[in-house]
């Protein structure tokens, strides 16, 4: 299961149980994505519309998905919305899914301070584990070994766990 299929499952679950308003901010055309495109209840926000968004007024009681915004011409507008949503999200009932294909841009957002779950593909090496989670080298080696056969790795801050397709680690 890749990031797109996992994201679509989270969107479906959120739509079913939490909110009916789903907004998708994406730096690439996902109209051909077989997992996301069929979800007709998603409102896509792109281009100059991003400049006009007032998070508190327009995105209250919703799920906002940020996907592939790292090297996009509207990157700064998307990050403005992301950071504001983090600041006021609890008060205004805003849930966020942030999908990044380039973790080096993380310093521009509040994602690592506020995120509850971080999912990445195996190609991004162990920078997340070393820098952000400060895992032991032994645990990093175990995860690297597991990623030879797995598709993704996920860190869940709420349960302090790291897991791949087939294995889970409870962190100290």
Q: Which string of DSSP letters, residue by residue, matches 6-56?
A: HHHHHHHHHHHHT-SEEEEEESS--TT-TTTTT-TTEEEE-TTHHHH--HH
**Integer Cα distance of 163 and 11 in angstroms:** 20
Contact of 69 with 25, CB cutoff 8 Å? yes
Global pTM?
0.66
Q: Which residues contact 32 (CB under 8 A, 6 or more apart)?
A: none
Class of domain 1-112: alpha beta
List the domain boundaries for the chain. 1-112, 116-172
| pLDDT 10s digits, 3-40 | 777 788 888 888 888 778 999 988 877 777 888 889 98
pLDDT in tens, 111-131: 555 556 666 665 544 556 666
Local confidence band at 106 (pLDDT 50, 70, 90 cut-offs): very low
- Residue 104's pLDDT band (boundaries 50, 70, 90)? very low
């Amino acid at each position: 299961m890749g990031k797109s299929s996992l994201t679509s499952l989270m969107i479906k679950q959120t739509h079913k149980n939490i909110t009916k308003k789903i907004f998708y901010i994406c730096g690439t055309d996902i109209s051909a994505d077989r997992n996301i495109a069929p979800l007709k209840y998603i409102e896509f926000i792109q281009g100059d519309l991003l400049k006009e968004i007032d998070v508190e007024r327009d995105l209250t009681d919703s799920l906002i998905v940020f996907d592939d915004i790292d090297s996009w011409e509207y990157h700064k507008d998307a990050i403005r919305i992301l950071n504001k949503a983090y600041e006021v999200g609890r008060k205004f009932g805003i849930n966020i899914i942030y999908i990044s294909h380039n973790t080096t841009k993380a310093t521009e957002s509040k994602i690592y301070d506020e995120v509850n779950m971080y999912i990445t593909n195996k190609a991004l090496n162990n920078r997340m584990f070393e820098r952000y989670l400060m895992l032991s080298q032994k645990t990093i080696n175990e995860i690297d070994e597991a990623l030879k056969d797995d598709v993704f790795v996920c860190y869940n801050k709420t349960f302090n766990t790291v897991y791949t397709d087939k294995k889970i680690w409870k962190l100290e």
